Amino acid sequence: MADPIEATAPVTAPSHGHDEEKARLDALLKNRPEAKELQDKNILPNSNAAPSLLAKQEELRKAQLEDRLADRIEHRPDRAELERLGILKSGSSSIAPGLQAKQEELRKAQLEDRLERELEKRPERTELEERGILKGGQGVAPGLMAKQEELKRAQLGDRVKEGVEGRPSREELESRGILHKGE
């Protein structure tokens, strides 16, 4: 039987393998990222707390988040408020959520078709100008049409005023025999 002391003697690897492993580990340590870089990548926790407190700190953060979510759920607006704000469509509760988007697409397509039909029925510009609905003419910017109309009215008012001021007096008309006294 072998001597028990000899059996427990440490087994050592050849020294050349140990030196290679040490060099490899030294190279890895030199290229190791800084703690700040690891925190930025969420590999290390970004905390100054002791490592023994990190788990409790994370539990507290999760509990606070749960409390905030529970509070928001408790105070969330009801369906009528969401419909009023336009977040939910009115009457959409009877339609499967998967079909609601298709329903909205169909409604928009129908609206586009109706608008196109109405635009086709619309009278031409010349007809609207002839009927006096559209003022101004070709070459006048729409933003200036109101000013152009205002200017025309002012010019007409000036001509009427000149005509009234330049008309003969009642006495002159009577002397010419155009008006008779007492008329």
Q: 36-45, 70-79, 103-112, 116-125: lowest mean pLDDT where?
A: 36-45
For residue 13, the number of C-alpha atoms closer than 13 Å in the C-beta half-sphere is 8
- Report d(CA 112, CA 152) in Å as an integer: 39
pLDDT value of position 125: 81
Please give the pLDDT value at position 1.
Answer: 47
Q: How far apart are CA 20 and CA 169, in angstroms?
A: 127
pLDDT of residue 92: 60
pLDDT at residue 141, as a whole number? 78
- In this predicted structure, the answer to whether residue 174 has a pLDDT above a threshold of 50 is yes
92 vs 11 pLDDT, higher one:
92
Q: Is the pLDDT of residue 89 over 90?
A: no
Question: At 98, is the pLDDT very low, low, confident or very high (cuts 50, 70, 90)?
Answer: confident
Do 170 and 176 meet the contact criterion of CB atoms below 8 Å apart? no
Question: For residue 106, what pLDDT is reported?
Answer: 92
d(CA 20, CA 13): 12
List pLDDT tens digits, range 4-55. 444 454 555 455 678 899 999 999 888 888 888 888 888 887 777 787 888 8
* Mean pLDDT score, 51-69: 90
Q: What is the pLDDT of residues 115-152, one digit of tens each?
A: 999 999 999 888 888 887 877 666 777 778 788 888 98
5 or 159: whose pLDDT is higher? 159
